[in-house]
């Protein structure tokens, strides 16, 4: 469903009324290509070798803040900030330039992991999180602000490319930790990083799952479109369109993992747990079937199939597992105790399994947590609730299935082996729980 308010605010009367009444003024998000330069700033003393990686983002480095024109992106290296005096350099670096960032532009702050042995460093590095989240809520004009904690620029290349590109249009106010690379070589072709790899997406016949399957196929993957038997025709049509294969399967079946492994004899390189349902009621009105059906589809099936596929060696080394959580699992939502519990369970799964899966199987485990995404399901939501969902985020609009798909593709990237155990919200920095 079209966002008529967003369209209206782009007109002269809309600009006048929203300015006079103090209403949200969302800017259309750039999801195509950036034009403009990249401004690289530092705060504190740093040894991070960023220049070669930033040069490969496709954005032209700018000489400095005084250069003419609006930068498409600003990268502030604050990894060397270790005390409050150095933290002041963050303000000094960004204060003069933040207003000049282009509409739908990017501000990316790079930090270090807080050091438990140095409480001064830990304090100011944690301060960067409050800084970036706050700046994200005030910067406006479709611009995003994120924080990446890293030690090696090259291990973070896929992350920097993603967060400095239009693909991250609906990701803001996030903190991503990047560890050391897992040894998987960077792809020969960054436009087709999944060439020669097999990706299986559950719940892929429609909605967000279909967008994920399409994005992965566009990056070269051979996609297996998995959905329930009653959606088999849709799944087959989607698979044919993408040059993939369809698999009609009830993901809650006890033997689902074994059947998936048998259907993909060459193994899975990318496993996307997207299938999910809602059965909303307040707890006082929720019967046992509504509770158990949501928990079985959204959480239990993910646990069972993941365990089975890892145990069988059906997820190839260097593989990626990406599960779909939700901001409802992070912040809660009235009428969704079952759904919120299931999606919070996905977060727990990711955090606990990620280090073990990497150590034992060479596989990373991450999650995306969508906010208000424009789908057929949200189009059926009552108008006032739908408008609240759209406006209650820093970008003041709903996201698109493609936004979730692009974030999933970044986590599925062969060069994202240093990103593990992360839960990344795709919510425009929703005001709920942010």
- Strand-pairing partners, residue 40, are 75
The residue-averaged pLDDT of 97-114 equals 96
> How confident is the model at residue 9, as a pLDDT?
87
> Is residue 111 a contact partner of residue 81, using CB atoms and an 8 Å limit?
yes
Whole-number Å distance between alpha carbons of 406 and 218: 11
Domains 37-177 and 198-426 belong to one CATH topology: yes
Which stretch of DSSP H or E encloses residue 258? helix 256-263
> How confident is the model at residue 232, as a pLDDT?
95
Closest of 368, 2, 390 to residue 167, by C-alpha: 368
Residues 6+ apart with CB under 8 A from 6: 26, 28, 397
Question: Could you say which DSSP state residue 329 is in?
Answer: H
The residue-averaged pLDDT of 338-358 equals 97
> Is residue 160 a contact partner of residue 190, using CB atoms and an 8 Å limit?
no
Whole-number Å distance between alpha carbons of 338 and 280: 8
Whole-number Å distance between alpha carbons of 346 and 293: 16
> How confident is the model at residue 375, as a pLDDT?
82
> How confident is the model at residue 433, as a pLDDT?
64
Alpha helical stretches, state H, 56-153: 84-94, 119-138
Mean pLDDT of the chain, nearest integer: 94
Query: Over 90: is that where the pLDDT of 36 sits?
Result: no
On whether the 37-177 domain is CATH 3.40.50.300, my answer is no
> How confident is the model at residue 66, as a pLDDT?
55
> How confident is the model at residue 63, as a pLDDT?
67
pTM reported for the whole predicted model: 0.95
Instruction: Give ∠ CA 88-90-93 in degrees, rounded to 5.
Output: 110
> How confident is the model at residue 60, as a pLDDT?
84
> How confident is the model at residue 14, as a pLDDT?
86
Closest of 371, 327, 320 to residue 347, by C-alpha: 327
pLDDT tens across 113-169, in order? 999 999 999 999 999 999 999 999 999 999 999 999 999 999 999 999 999 999 999
Residues 6+ apart with CB under 8 A from 96: 65
Closest of 30, 8, 127 to residue 402, by C-alpha: 30
Q: Give Dmax (Cα) for the chain.
A: 63
The residue-averaged pLDDT of 229-254 equals 97
Per-domain residue ranges of the chain: 37-177, 198-426
- Catalytic option among 291, 339, 372, 410: 339
Question: Could you say which DSSP state residue 138 is in?
Answer: H
The residue-averaged pLDDT of 241-260 equals 97
User: Which tokens belong to 430?
Assistant: 């929703």
Residue bearing the bigger pLDDT, 58 or 313: 313
Whole-number Å distance between alpha carbons of 242 and 245: 8
> How confident is the model at residue 67, as a pLDDT?
55
Query: Over 80: is that where the pLDDT of 381 sits?
Result: no
Whole-number Å distance between alpha carbons of 35 and 33: 7
The size of the chain, in residues, is 434
433: exposed, middle or buried (C-beta count within 10 Å: 0-12, 13-18, 19+)? middle
pLDDT tens across 205-240, in order? 999 999 999 999 999 999 999 999 999 999 999 999
Whole-number Å distance between alpha carbons of 27 and 6: 7
**Topology of domain 198-426, CATH:** Rossmann fold (3.40.50)
Residue bearing the bigger pLDDT, 432 or 288: 288
Buried b (16+ CB within 10 A) or exposed e, 359-368: eebbbbbbbb
> How confident is the model at residue 139, as a pLDDT?
97
> How confident is the model at residue 188, as a pLDDT?
85
170 a catalytic residue: no
- Between 177-181, 209-213, 244-248, 293-297, the lowest mean confidence (pLDDT) is in 177-181
138: exposed, middle or buried (C-beta count within 10 Å: 0-12, 13-18, 19+)? exposed
> How confident is the model at residue 61, as a pLDDT?
81
> Distance between terminal CA atoms of the chain?
26
Query: Over 90: is that where the pLDDT of 254 sits?
Result: yes
pLDDT tens across 352-361, in order? 999 999 999 9
Query: Over 80: is that where the pLDDT of 287 sits?
Result: yes
pLDDT tens across 11-32, in order? 888 888 888 888 888 899 999 9
Whole-number Å distance between alpha carbons of 335 and 291: 11
pLDDT tens across 45-101, in order? 999 999 999 999 988 887 666 555 789 999 999 999 999 999 999 999 999 999 999
Percent of the chain past pLDDT 90, that is, above it, reads 82
Residues 6+ apart with CB under 8 A from 372: 378, 389, 390, 392, 393, 398, 399, 427, 428, 430
């Amino acid at each position: 469903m079209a966002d008529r308010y967003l369209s209206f605010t782009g007109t002269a009367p809309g600009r006048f009324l929203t300015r006079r009444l103090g209403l949200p003024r969302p800017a259309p998000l750039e999801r195509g290509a950036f034009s403009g330069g990249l401004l690289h700033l530092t705060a504190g003393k740093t040894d991070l070798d960023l220049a070669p990686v930033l040069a490969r983002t496709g954005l032209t480095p700018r000489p400095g803040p005084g250069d003419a024109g609006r930068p498409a992106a600003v990268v502030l290296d604050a990894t060397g900030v270790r005390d409050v005096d150095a933290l002041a350099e963050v303000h000094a670096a960004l204060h003069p330039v933040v207003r000049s960032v282009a509409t739908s532009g990017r501000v990316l702050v790079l930090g270090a992991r807080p050091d438990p042995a140095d409480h001064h460093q830990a304090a100011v590095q944690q301060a960067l999180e409050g800084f970036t989240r706050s700046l994200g809520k005030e910067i406006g004009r479709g611009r995003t602000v994120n924080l990446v904690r890293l030690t090696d620029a090259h291990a973070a290349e896929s992350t920097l490319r993603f967060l400095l590109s239009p693909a991250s249009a609906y990701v803001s106010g996030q903190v991503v930790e990047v560890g050391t690379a897992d040894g998987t070589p960077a792809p020969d072709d960054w436009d087709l990083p999944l060439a020669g790899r097999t990706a299986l997406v559950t719940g892929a016949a429609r909605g967000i799952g279909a967008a994920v399957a399409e994005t992965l196929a566009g990056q070269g993957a051979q996609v297996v479109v998995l959905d329930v038997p009653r959606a088999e025709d849709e799944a087959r049509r989607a698979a044919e369109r993408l040059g993939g294969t369809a698999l009609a399967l009830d993901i809650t079946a006890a033997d689902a993992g074994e059947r998936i492994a048998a259907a993909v004899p060459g193994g899975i390189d990318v496993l996307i747990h997207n299938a999910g349902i809602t059965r909303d009621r307040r707890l006082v009105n929720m019967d046992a079937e509504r509770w158990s059906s949501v928990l079985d589809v959204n959480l239990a099936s993910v646990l069972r199939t993941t365990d089975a596929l890892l145990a069988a060696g059906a997820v190839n080394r260097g593989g990626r597992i990406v599960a779909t959580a939700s901001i409802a699992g992070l912040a809660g939502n009235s009428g969704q105790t079952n759904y919120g519990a299931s999606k919070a369970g996905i977060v727990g799964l990711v955090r606990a399994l990620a280090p073990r899966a990497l150590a034992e199987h060479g596989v990373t485990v991450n999650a995306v947590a969508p906010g208000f995404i424009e789908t057929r399901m949200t189009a059926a939501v009552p108008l006032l609730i739908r408008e609240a969902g759209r406006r209650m985020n820093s970008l003041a609009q709903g996201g698109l299935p493609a936004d979730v798909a692009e974030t999933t593709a970044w986590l599925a990237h062969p060069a994202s082996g240093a990103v593990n155990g992360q839960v990344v919200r795709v919510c425009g920095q929703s005001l709920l729980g942010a």
